[in-house]
Structure 1
Amino acid sequence: MNDSELIWHEKSRTEVFRTPVFTVTERTSESPDGRRGIYIVNEAPDWVIVIPDTGETFLMVRQWRHGEKALSIEFPGGVIDKGEAPLEAAKRELMEETGASAGKLTFLGSMNPNPALFSNHVHVFLAEDLKFSGKQDLDEDEYVNYMPVLKSEVLKKIGSWEYCHALMASAAALYMAAKI
């Protein structure tokens, strides 16, 4: 089979449930040989992750994650606002969560968090030459601490209970690939 024979075609899309952060849709799609299936897809805005590199450390954030019911140590990041470019969102999220701005922001890549279930993408940026204002500008429902963490500790502990966010591991892989 060649790749063109793997492609399904969406025939209909129905909104099942809308929340402030994502919409659940039911999609009826047709396989290459004419079979139909119903699939659930979560639609959400794209996100950014920023990897603040200070030399020996990454500037990390610690915040509560409701799904995990635990604190998580992560790279700064968040939702891209409607009409906002990923680069601008990366600058904004870095400043909001850490009070830092980057003299240099490098795009490392984009990926889908889970292409079986999600329609959005996360865009990863490397932030270097950081300057600190010392003032966070958090959203109303955001409670975030920031701190430098040795790069070796972050890379060693990804996948542990403290570093449980899978997208952080994906972002770290893009970072390591850029540094090879």
Structure 2
Amino acid sequence: MIHENDPRPWQVEQSEYIHNLPWFTVRKDAIRMENGGTIPNYFVFEYPSWINVVAVTTDNQLVLIRQYRHAIAGIHYELCAGVVDPNEEPLVAAQRELLEETGFGGGQWELLMTLSANPGTHSNVTYAYLATGVELKQAQHLESTEEITVHIVSHERAREIINTGEMMQSLHLAPLLKYLLNRMGGPAGFSDLSEQA
């Protein structure tokens, strides 16, 4: 939604790539603002689109994963997630990643929300999908750089995971929280049920 008094988009006067590798592409822009202000060195991180999946099984359990994350040197719960390949539709990427990482597939799919890791620095978005009625279809099919364990948890356990800080990835917390809030009838319902968990 656009508001009448919204700030104006910035003008890029000059742009150059500082670094250009698949997982670390940084662009430097020289910016001129509508009010006359300038930012000579504005850095933007370019990534492909990302996806993640809130997956609910046919018996109403949630499919979560755990893996080591080197930057914070920790292992936490996460949603299944991944990168959208070039010329790939986000929904196709989400279905592919869920099947590869967890072995679960099928069900009914819908876009739950679209997120930015940080709109001040990141150029990409994350498409978060809700997949209901998924079933175990195959064994995991992991890449050599992936070490992922699959965990089937109840909704009550998912609330406990959130409340105890066992999930750290904010792009995963947001869609899971939205799903739980919608399922329970809004923030008051989530608060009441989380106290009972």
Partner residue of 2:37? Answer: 35
Matched, 1:49 2:52: yes
Stretch of structure 1 that moved more, 58-67 or 47-56: 47-56
Counterparts of 2:133 and 2:21, CA distance in 1: 38
Contact 1:47 1:123 survives alignment (8 Å): yes
Residue equivalent to 1:18? 20
Larger radius of gyration: 2
Cα-to-partner distance string for 1:85-135 (whole Å, 9 max, x where unaligned): 000001000001001112211111211111011010000111111121231
> Where does structure 1 lack aligned partners over 5 or more consecutive residues?
none
Query: Is structure 2 residue 85 aligned with structure 1 residue 85?
Result: no
Please say if 1:97 is aligned against 2:101. yes
Does structure 2 retain, via aligned residues, the 8 Å contact 1:22–1:45? no
Once the 2 structures are TM-superposed, how far is the Cα of residue 167 of structure 1 from its aligned partner?
1.0
**Count of residue pairs brought into register by the alignment:** 179
1:61/1:144 contact within 8 Å kept = yes
Within the candidate set 170, 173, 191, 1:166 is matched to 170
| 1:159 CA displacement | 6.4
**Partner letter of residue 157 of structure 1?**
I
- What is the CA–CA distance in structure 2 between the aligned matches of 1:82 and 1:34, rounded to whole Å? 38
Determine the C-alpha separation between the residues in 1 that align with 2:51 and 2:159: 20
Secondary structure of the residue aligned to 1:53 is: strand
Note the alpha carbon deviations across 1:16-62, whole angstroms, 9 max, x for none.
11233231111111110222102111100010011111244211011
Q: Does 1:125 align with 2:133?
A: no
CA distance in 1 between partners of 2:27 and 2:157 (Å): 39
Q: 1:172 to 1:13 in 2, by over 3 A?
A: same
Contact 2:99 2:138 survives alignment (8 Å): no
> Structure 2: how far apart are the matches of 1:81 and 1:162?
29
Among all aligned residue pairs of Structure 1 and Structure 2, give the percentage whose two residues are the same amino acid: 28
Separation of aligned partners in 1, 2:182 and 2:94: 18
Q: Distance in 2 between matches of 1:173 and 1:29?
A: 36
TM-score (norm 1): 0.91
